[in-house]
Copies of this chain bind each other. A is one copy, B any other.
Amino acid sequence: MSSRPTAEFPTPTKPNARARAASLEDVAALAGVSPGTVSRALSRPEMISEATRQRVLEAADRIGYVPNGAARAMAMRRTLTVGAVIPRFGTSSFPTMVQALETTLAERGYTLLLAAPDNKGSQTTDMVRTLLARGVDALALLGSRHPQEVFALLKTQGTPFVQLWTQDDALGPCVGFDESQAAALVVDHLADFGHREIGFIGGYTRNNERAEARLAGLMRAVAKRGLTLREDATVETEYGLQQGFDAMERIRLGGSPVSAVVCGNDYLAAGALAALDQAGVPVPQRLSVASFNDNEFAPFMHPPLTTVHLPIQEMGEQAGRHLLAVLQNQAPEAAAPLPVHLVIRRSTGPRG
């Protein structure tokens, strides 16, 4: 992966080989409808019958007509695009959430623009600026803790937005779930099994409000049940399988008397279970392991993983519906926290 393009951007006059471009009127003539119907078929399909829409699309295909998106967007003062600012895809549940968002928006003809950090480590402000410059009609932001200027920009532009995976609605509408409730589910379960001293492998809390909220929720739940979250069995790390593996090795070799370890997400837990498996530590007989997310692989771990099911897909869907409602001048759904529940599998058991 060595060679890279180094030259400057193409000149603005780069021609698009569009020799004798078909017009909207050509499509109308071929489909036997009015130009207005063609326009509606392409931008407001709900207003016409599916049969007419199909006829128009077939005519457009036959003569190779594609509407000029930029010109159309200017005329309509909207682009039918929604931007999403998502920091990373690897070993996270964000792809699932983004796909749910994308699918919900696509149902109404919106296309999702994706912004993620480039290798230069650009920040949220840059990503939001880029998406606004692309003329997005609305924006989905992961979390609420962004630089002031992000919200200032959105306000100046009058761009509707929604925050995902947060309940902090001080700066705008959000979809999320109750972290305290999620933590209480897993802690109550362990307490009921007689566990008293608990370890924790979590994501770095610095600059990650989701990791921070998870740890805070856990500490509240632990205090409420009179358990101890042992410092000598608490590790903050990157979210990832290898990181979970390494963290569990540290806890195991540190000799802390914990009988259960909670992991910040299923990727950490999968790594932690592998470490215990390879060290011959029986789970849950010697150590219980529980987690958050209920990713698709959780039932297939060794042993199957007890984890709090988080509404990953539902957050994407609810965010999409919220933005669509706002874009259609409708009242959005009330932003109640989405439900969570504990999925009890075989990685947790009575204190040995």
Contacts and interface: CB of A to CB of B under 8 A. Distances in A.
Contacts of A77: 12-16
A10 interface: yes
Interface string A251-264: 00000000000000
A268 to B, nearest CB: 11
Contact of A333 (B3, B17, B95): B3
Interface in A264-319: 270-271, 273-274, 277, 296-297, 299-302, 304, 314, 317-318
B328 A302 contact: no
A8 B118 contact: no
A181 interface: no
Given A18-B157, A68-B135, A12 B76 contact: yes
Nearest to A324: B5
Interface residues of A, number: 107
Interface stretch (A96-104, A194-202, A218-226, A228-236): A96-104
B76 A74 contact: no
A335 interface: no
A343 B106 CA distance: 39
Contacts of A157: 16, 18, 64, 66
Interface string A312-352: 00100110010011011110010000000000000000000
A90 B72 CA distance: 34
A206 to B, nearest CB: 23
A1 B322 CA distance: 12
Interface string A65-93: 01111111111111111000000111100
A108 interface: yes
A61 interface: yes
A35 interface: no
Contact of A69 (B47, B79, B115, B271): B79
Contacts of A170: none
Interface of A: 1, 3-5, 7-10, 12-18, 42-44, 46-47, 57, 60-61, 64, 66-81, 88-91, 95-96, 98-99, 102-103, 106-109, 111-120, 122, 125, 129-135, 149, 152-153, 156-159, 240-242, 245, 270-271, 273-274, 277, 296-297, 299-302, 304, 314, 317-318, 321, 324-325, 327-330, 333
21 contacts: A8-B46, A13-B77, A15-B158, A18-B158, A57-B129, A64-B153, A64-B156, A66-B133, A66-B153, A70-B74, A89-B98, A90-B99, A107-B118, A111-B113, A111-B134, A112-B113, A241-B299, A273-B300, A274-B300, A274-B301, A274-B304
